[in-house]
């Protein structure tokens, strides 16, 4: 078997085990503010724009 087939079979096996165990989620998740998320998105966008411009030259 190739590598990807083994990985896919492993993921399916793990997910079926988790579903059989009945993993439950809390009704009201605790939420915390993510500071600096806008800066992170802006920096990622700037890096993508730079790579896009360099690729087109």
pLDDT of residue 10: 86
Where do runs of H (alpha helix) occur along 1-36? 3-21
Q: For 8-31, what is each residue's pLDDT tens digit?
A: 888 888 887 777 656 566 676 666
Task: Give dist(CA 19, CA 25) in Å, integer.
Answer: 12
Task: Collect all residues with Cβ–Cβ distance below 8 Å to 1 and sequence separation of at least 6.
Answer: 9
pLDDT of residue 26: 64
| HEC assignment per residue over 43-56 | HHHHHHHHHHHHHH
Q: For 24-55, what is each residue's pLDDT tens digit?
A: 666 766 666 777 788 888 899 999 998 888 87
Q: Tokens 């993510």, residue?
A: 34
pLDDT of residue 53: 85
DSSP state of 36: T
Q: Name the pTM for this structure.
A: 0.39
């Amino acid at each position: 078997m190739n590598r990807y087939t083994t990985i896919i079979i492993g993921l399916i096996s793990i997910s079926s085990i988790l579903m059989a165990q009945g993993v439950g989620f809390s009704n009201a998740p605790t939420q915390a503010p993510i500071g600096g998320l806008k800066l992170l998105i802006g920096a990622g966008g700037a890096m993508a724009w730079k790579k896009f411009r360099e690729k087109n030259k």
